[in-house]
Chain A
């Protein structure tokens, strides 16, 4: 054991072993279980051996493509909103809030608040009996609550996007702010200024190229979150189409046992789509950043 512990090459692996084991057993276990059970016949169905019937009936469901589109729309839109607004907010905060730790702290306020709370708050703000509707009613713009435009449970999923934006802009923003305040960025900006670059030129050619790679890794997390979010669309989304996670949960809790393998199949599908999207986005983004750098 002594020699084993002193082998420098084995050392990091021994240190990593506990964490990797736990993550591997839990996440790996979940995926393996989903894979195995999704192709196992349901008890009492009379089928034996392996079956792809869960996948077949899942793919035959006309709701699936619409759910997939909705989920991808939400994930993409909210990621773009979070990145653009997050960077803008960070740039503004760097100018203004350097003196005030309070502004930065308030900016981070949504970070530790559970999404369930965010969803409840958005409902109380944008819902038909929400604050905006009340203001519109008091101002005589609408006759009653029902005539307030649907911002929640709506096809464009504005309520869901609002909640994601509220939570994720500070997340992206705080990382971008840390990058913006790093000496690496400020020194390069000063160098560009001394070379005669104006504020917009500095932003376009110096600041953004330096900050984007770091923001990208956060954007990946935002995308993965929005794609897999469950409670927010469940509270704020229309009943049709549902996002993929909601759809999976409905099948998981369906009274018909036959729906269980479909829930597992859908889980695997979601995992695959999420990882594929992230891989693709990172490739595209890396290439774009590299070309920008030229």
Chain B
């Protein structure tokens, strides 16, 4: 019912630019995720869409209609906050009915609709309870019910799973997907977790420093990151600087055939996912000889670091390969050409800063070891 268009959307606080000239279209009835690290401006963007903040510049349009003069309470874009924010002085039922009360719906009708919606989110007969009596997962469901009961044009979810214990996340995720599928309400999900974005969203917009870095399906972002920053945020440990001439990129580890990505000759950055690298005894194109530096048994899989000259590559393989991959042993690995992706080389200053981050252990190295659940600082 509602397509959202952000045009040159900008929000500044003093000298800090939280959202920087964002252009983005969120198609009607789809779920779009805003993915990015803490403080990247994703929650600010969400609040700008909901009218809870006023843009410094640019516009938010619903179905082509500029929402500049439409206040938050009249936009029909309902936000569900990370911390459920149930009003502690209202019962569960009154919480769910809050939006209906604001719209002047009569008490009996409110009650009926609230109970229906509570049943729908799997919490029948809880209307007379106090929010304190519910578990964290149940409260989050109530918050969702409270938003859905007003039949919003747009649903804005701020880290809907982050405050939940891991074992509760699946249920909530299924609930959001089920309801969204039925209602077809245009939904924006803010998250710092790429898996959450991948599972929930039709499309993912990745944000850094207030700017949109790339928009696409989770698969597209994963396999074909637009630049080094996106690749790193998504947890790609293998980034090889090189120089392209034709199909071949000359890297410190050797010459590689890279058919995809930036086609222009000159400096590029080549990436490959750890799970795409094959331990290969034979010889052939894109095969490199290296030495095993380290092999870690992660249970379901083994993570191996291989040094090829001065370059380190990380690969993930099956546990049964562990015996052959003792540290110090020689190994041959193949980087399949279709899995390699060339990106524009980042400017040297940014590259230097990143290397220092890696040394200090700040930058993400692998998706599995990143700290989860970090709250979005720009709330």
* CB–CB B13/A6 < 8 A: no
CB B68 to nearest CB in A, in angstroms, measures: 11
Contact A6 B14 (CB under 8 A): no
B13 and A8 contact, CB distance less than 8 A: yes
* Nearest chain B residue, comparing its CB with the CB of A6: B54
B4-32: CB near A (< 8 Å → 1, else 0) gives 00000000011000000000000000000
Q: Complex formed: what's the CA distance from A8 to B13 in Å?
A: 8
Q: How many A-B residue pairs have CB under 8 A?
A: 4
Which residues of chain B (43-63) have a CB below 8 Å from chain A? 54
Q: Interface residues of B: mostly helix, strand, loop or mixed?
A: loop
Query: 0/1 per residue, A1-14, Cβ < 8 Å to B?
Result: 00000101100000
For B54, list chain A residues within 8 Å (CB): 6
Complex CA–CA separation, A8 to B12 (angstroms): 10
* Secondary structure of the A contact surface, majority rule: loop
Question: How far is B42's CA from A283's CA once the two chains are assembled, in angstroms?
Answer: 46
Closest-CB distance, A264 to chain B (whole angstroms): 45
Residue of A nearest to B54 (CB): A6
Residues of B within 8 A of A6 (CB): 54
Give bound CA distance, A130 to B13, whole Å: 67
Q: Which residue of A lies closest to B13 (CB)?
A: A8
Residues of A within 8 A of B13 (CB): 8
Nearest CB on B from A255, distance (A): 60
> Quick one: closest B residue to A8, CB to CB?
B13
> Nearest chain-A residue to B56 (Cβ)?
A6
Q: How many residues of A contact B (CB 8 A)?
A: 3
- Interface flags for A249-290 (1: CB within 8 Å of B; 0: not) read 000000000000000000000000000000000000000000
Assembly CA distance A8 to B54 (angstroms)? 11
Closest to A2 in B: B54
Instruction: Mark out the residues of chain A between 224 and 239 whose CB falls within 8 Å of any chain B CB in the assembled complex.
Output: none
Contacts of A8 in B (CB 8 A): 13-14
Chain B residue numbers with a CB within 8 Å of A9 are 14
Closest partner residue, chain A, to B69 (CB atom): A2
Interchain nearest-CB distance for A99 vs B (Å): 25
Query: Cα distance A238–B13 when bound, in Å?
Result: 62
In whole angstroms, what is the CA distance A75 to B54 when docked?
53
Closest chain-B Cβ to A35's Cβ sits at a distance in Å of 39
Could you give, for residues 290-322 of chain B, a 1 whenever the CB lies within 8 Å of some chain A CB and a 0 otherwise? 000000000000000000000000000000000
Q: How far is the CB of A109 from chain B (nearest CB, A)?
A: 30
Bound: A6/B14 CA distance, A = 12
Complex Cα distance, B14 from A9, in Å, reads 8
Contacts of B14 in A (CB 8 A): 8-9
Q: What is the CB-to-nearest-CB distance from A6 to chain B, in angstroms, rounded to a whole number?
A: 5
Cα distance A8–B14 when bound, in Å? 9
A154 to B14 CA separation, bound complex (whole angstroms) = 63
How far does the alpha carbon of A8 sit from the alpha carbon of B18 in the complex, in Å?
A: 14
Interface residues of A in 4-45 (CB under 8 A from B): 6, 8-9
Within 8 A of A (CB), among B227-272: none
Bound-complex Cα distance A8 to B44 (A): 15
- B14: nearest chain-A partner, CB-CB: A9
A128 to B14, CA, bound (A): 69
Q: Which of A192-234 contact B (CB under 8 A)?
A: none
CB closest chain-B residue, reference A9: B14
Min CB gap B348→A, angstroms: 37
Closest chain B CB from A13 CB (angstroms): 15
Compute how far the CA of A126 lies from the CA of B106 in the bound complex, rounded to whole angstroms.
65
Chain A residues 59 to 104 lying within 8 A of chain B, measured CB to CB, are none
Compute how far the CA of A84 lies from the CA of B33 in the bound complex, rounded to whole angstroms: 60
Bound: A177/B14 CA distance, A: 42
CB distance from A238 to the nearest CB of B (A): 55
**Nearest CB of chain A from residue B57's CB, rounded to whole Å:** 12
Give the docked Cα–Cα distance between A103 and B316 (Å): 69
Q: Compute how far the CA of A6 lies from the CA of B54 in the bound complex, rounded to whole angstroms.
A: 8
Shortest distance between the CB of B39 and any CB in chain A (Å): 17
| Shortest distance between the CB of A212 and any CB in chain B (Å) | 33
What residues of chain A have their CB less than 8 Å away from a CB belonging to chain B?
Answer: 6, 8-9
Sample of 4 A–B contacts (CB below 8 Å): A6-B54, A8-B13, A8-B14, A9-B14
Q: Which 4 A-B pairs have the closest CB atoms?
A: A6-B54, A8-B13, A9-B14, A8-B14
